[in-house]
Amino acid sequence: MSTSLKLANKVALITGGTTGIGLGAAQRFVAEGAFVYITGRRQTELDAAVQQLGPNARGIRSDVTSQTDLDQLFATIQAEKGHLDVVFTNAGGGDFAPLGGITEEHYAMTFDRNVKATLFTVQKALPLLRDGSSIILMASTAGSMGDANFSVYSASKAAVRSFARTWTADLKDRKIRVNALSPGPIDTPGLSGLGADETQAEEIKSFLASTVPLGRLGSPDEVAKALVFLASDDSSFVTGTELFVDGGLAQL
């Protein structure tokens, strides 16, 4: 394989890789020469994504909030490839809930998906990660902004951003780089899902686009290009940082 490809001969794991940013990242990683494992909770969507990605991708059904599923995931990678070079903890999500209406279930679900899953995905990946590998954590502009009705999600993403700092210190002797990537509003099925129906989804998208200095939503591929940078040797002196791909939203 040509060494001009930025991820030639690397083995990558992308959790939540069946749609949106995760699928966009997988497409870019494969195009840049990586063999990519993607996870998802639904087999049908997982199979469709792998068919789209081609022979250099493998889908493993896995719920990242389940310790048993994570153990099986990494056992499979160990048996098939024996190592990892890149981990992108993309799986996660959250819903709106105003202060005063936050339930214990909402809190637990949000922190399990974004914080617990990130922690144990990375921790269980460590034996497979080669020295000098790259870990990319999915954070969010919400982690550094004060959006109403989004406090639990925002707090969970602030915790993820903190992981990038502390894990950089934990893993510095192995030269493993840990960075957080924080997208702004990206036109994905997940964003559309915030609306109760198609009309409300379009209203949400229009409003979010109006808050972005560049005046539009981003695309999954624009995020994927930044992820290739963080995954590749192009970012060899970049660690512990937060890269915003947000059209300027959190910068002004």
Residue 102 in domain: yes
- In the predicted model, residues of the chain with pLDDT beneath 70 are 1-3
Residue 158 in domain: yes
Domain of 30 in residue numbering reads as 11-183+218-245
Which residue bears the tokens 């590749």?
232
Residue 41 in domain: yes
Question: In the prediction, which pLDDT does 2 show?
Answer: 46
Residue 33 in domain: yes
Q: How many domains does the chain have?
A: 1
114, 139 contact by CB (below 8 A):
no
Residue 37's CATH number: 3.40.50.720
pLDDT tens digits, 180-212: 999 999 999 888 877 789 899 899 999 999 999
Complete edge-to-edge strand list for the sheet that includes strand 242-245: 57-61, 35-40, 11-14, 84-89, 129-138, 177-183, 242-245
Is residue 37 part of the annotated active site? The answer reads no
Neighbours of 106 (CB within 10 A): 16
Of 111, 150, 153, 163, the active-site residue reads 153
Residue 213 in domain: no
Bridge partner residues of 11 (DSSP) = 35
Residue 5 in domain: no
Question: In the prediction, which pLDDT does 3 show?
Answer: 55
pLDDT tens digits, 121-161: 999 999 999 999 999 999 999 999 999 999 999 999 999 99
pTM greater than the 0.75 cutoff:
yes
Question: In the prediction, which pLDDT does 195 show?
Answer: 78
